[in-house]
């Protein structure tokens, strides 16, 4: 079965907004999500009952092909229960409940790598109800896609079909019922995806 790998703190400005070190560090921060977390457009995205603050984290998602190379990419959201994550960090507990809950991995359509800009110069945006909330550019990643894939392959052994969430730029924030989220990339219209947050 494929694995969903996720990278933490891969953009300095986001690391700073979380109060974390903005250095690349000796190793990538890696966590996993279960496959039950995946949601295709348009959702709806169901915010977990009882959750007070589910944050959007817009990210480039890479699908792994033969030889641990990038085969296709999509835009997705690493949805995060921020209060739970903060409590887990404080208690030294895992992030699975904060970042791996049902529906925590909305991912748009995959586009072959050959059909998009170089993966180290790909700009993308997330708008919520028409207002830009996050702007990312993979040229600002602390670790490039190629570096991440090599590091993950070395540590875990990548398989064809694995997905890698490559980290979020600054501008994360809470979602509310009924909002419309649109992901888009410059020069790659096929990467666009639209998700709707379920009404309360
Ligand atoms: Mn993330």
Q: What is the pLDDT of residues 28-67, one digit of tens each?
A: 999 999 999 999 999 999 999 999 999 999 999 999 999 9
- The dihedral region occupied by 172, where left means phi > 0, alpha psi between -120 and 50, and beta the remainder, is beta
Kindly give the distance from the C-alpha atom of residue 143 to the centroid of ligand 1, in angstroms, as a whole number: 14
Number of domains comprising the chain: 1
Kindly give the distance from the C-alpha atom of residue 25 to the centroid of ligand 1, in angstroms, as a whole number: 17
| Cα 138-131-75 angle, rounded to 5 deg | 35
Q: pTM for the whole thing? A: 0.96
Kindly give the distance from the C-alpha atom of residue 169 to the centroid of ligand 1, in angstroms, as a whole number: 9
Task: Tell me which residue of 109, 88, 91, 93 sits closest to 183, measured CA to CA.
Answer: 109
Q: Which two tokens stand for residue 76?
A: 């997705």
Kindly give the distance from the C-alpha atom of residue 59 to the centroid of ligand 1, in angstroms, as a whole number: 7
Residue 70: which CATH number? 3.90.850.10
pLDDT reported for residue 14: 86
pLDDT reported for residue 117: 80
H/E run at residue 193: strand 193-196
pLDDT reported for residue 18: 86
pLDDT reported for residue 62: 98
Kindly give the distance from the C-alpha atom of residue 26 to the centroid of ligand 1, in angstroms, as a whole number: 19
Kindly give the distance from the C-alpha atom of residue 178 to the centroid of ligand 1, in angstroms, as a whole number: 22
CA atoms of 179 and 173, how far apart (whole Å)? 13
Kindly give the distance from the C-alpha atom of residue 200 to the centroid of ligand 1, in angstroms, as a whole number: 25
Q: Which range of residues forms the domain containing residue 181? A: 4-196
pLDDT reported for residue 1: 83
Kindly give the distance from the C-alpha atom of residue 190 to the centroid of ligand 1, in angstroms, as a whole number: 22
Residue 50: CA count within 13 A, CB half-sphere = 4
pLDDT in tens, the chain (200 residues): 899 999 999 998 888 888 887 787 899 999 999 999 999 999 999 999 999 999 999 999 999 999 999 999 999 999 999 999 999 999 999 999 999 999 999 999 999 999 998 999 999 999 999 999 999 999 999 999 999 999 999 999 999 999 999 999 999 999 999 999 999 999 999 999 999 999 98
Kindly give the distance from the C-alpha atom of residue 67 to the centroid of ligand 1, in angstroms, as a whole number: 25
What's 142's DSSP letter? S
Kindly give the distance from the C-alpha atom of residue 94 to the centroid of ligand 1, in angstroms, as a whole number: 15
């Amino acid at each position: 079965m494929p694995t969903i790998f996720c990278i933490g703190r891969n953009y300095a400005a986001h690391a700073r907004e979380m109060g974390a070190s903005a250095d690349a560090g000796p190793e990538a921060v890696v966590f996993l999500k279960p496959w039950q977390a995946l949601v295709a457009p348009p959702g709806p995205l169901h915010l977990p009952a009882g959750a007070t603050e589910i944050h959007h984290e817009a990210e480039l998602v890479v699908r792994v092909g033969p030889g641990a190379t990038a085969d296709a990419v999509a835009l997705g959201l690493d949805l995060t229960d921020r209060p739970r994550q903060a409590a887990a960090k404080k208690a030294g507990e895992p992030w699975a409940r904060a970042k791996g809950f049902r529906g925590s991995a909305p991912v748009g359509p995959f586009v072959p790598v050959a059909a998009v800009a170089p993966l180290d110069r790909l700009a993308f945006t997330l708008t919520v109800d028409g207002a830009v909330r996050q702007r990312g550019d993979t040229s600002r990643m602390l670790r490039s896609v190629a570096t991440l894939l090599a590091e993950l392959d070395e540590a875990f052994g990548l398989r064809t079909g694995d997905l890698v969430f490559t980290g979020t730029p600054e501008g994360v924030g809470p979602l509310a019922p009924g909002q419309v989220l649109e992901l888009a990339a410059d020069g790659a219209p096929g990467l666009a995806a639209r998700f709707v947050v379920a009404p309360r």
